[in-house]
Amino acid sequence: TQSTRPQRLLGAVQKNATRGDPRSVVQAIDQFCRQKEWAMNVGDEKGCILDSVVSEVNPATVLELGTYCGYSTVRIASLLPPHAKLITLEFNPDFAAIARQVIAWAGLEDKVHLIEGASGDWIPKMTEQFGVKTFDLVFLDHWKDRYLPDTMLMEECGLLRKGSILLADNVICPGTPDYLEYVRSSPRYESQYFKSHLEYTKVEDGLEKSVFLG
């Protein structure tokens, strides 16, 4: 039977990356996506912006919405201080199965909780299931029409504190117009746009960084 793109991406990691070396896993995926097949990872250019925000925030608790193959999960987890926790949510079981193996190849499974399920179901359960009171950083990279409802849900569930950072991928392409309007006009957020490009292309895209003001 035919392999899927995520399976071929995993194959490239197992072939070209060194076990336990997150940077080599990231590099192997970027090389695969540039030379073989495009895939919807945040990519190297936006990935550098992600790295700088993670390093600046130095978060103890991170929520990632939209794991896909685990590329950004590996980038984030490799920068976390010891004992920090990254919870990543993936809706598609096939993507989740690949992501687990990519994260394991990078040797980061102890820092990552990968949950299979819908954000709307799991966000209200974060505190009781994982003992997380608030998130220091949230990386939004899942279905683009879920960014706004899930942000409102996180507010309602008290998962954001004064100073929590939301970093959203794809605010231009594919685009998240309702989310952008919300975080840019709400007095409860201070937002900043980091102009970049859609992963592995010349198409404009960018990340929106929003600080929750409480």
Ligand X SMILES: O=C(NCCc1nnc(-c2ccc3[nH]cnc3c2)[nH]1)c1cc(-c2ccc(F)cc2)cc(O)c1O
Considering the complex, state which of residue 61 and residue 67 has its C-beta at the smaller distance from ligand X.
67
Identified catalytic residue from 90, 136, 169, 205: 169
Q: Residue 166, Cα to own-chain centre: how many angstroms?
A: 11
Our answer to whether residue 125 is catalytic in this structure is no
Greatest pairwise CA separation for the chain in angstroms: 53
Q: Cβ of residue 60: shortest distance to ligand X, in angstroms?
A: 23
What gap in Å lies between CA 50 and CA 192, rounded to an integer? 13
Is residue 169 involved in binding Mg ion (CB under 5 A)?
yes
Give the one residue of 108, 141, 166, 210 binding ligand X; rule: CB under 6 A.
Answer: 141
Token pair, residue 80, equals 């976390």
Binding-site partner at residue 174 among ligand X, Mg ion, none, CB < 5 to 8 Å by type: ligand X
- List Cα–Cα distances, 20 to 13, 31, 43, 47, 78, in angstroms: 12, 18, 20, 19, 10
**Binding ligand X by CB under 6 A: which of 6, 54, 68, 136?**
68
Residue 163 falls in which region: left (phi positive, over 0), alpha (psi -120 to 50) or beta: left
Choices 2-10, 77-85, 88-96, 180-188; region in contact with ligand X by CB under 6 A: 88-96
Chain positions 140 to 159 lying near Mg ion, rule: CB under 5 A, are 141
156 is catalytic: no
**Enzyme catalytic residues:** 141, 144, 169-170, 199
Give me the residues that bind ligand X (CB under 6 A), please.
40, 65-66, 68, 89-92, 95, 118-119, 141-143, 146, 169-170, 173-174, 198-199
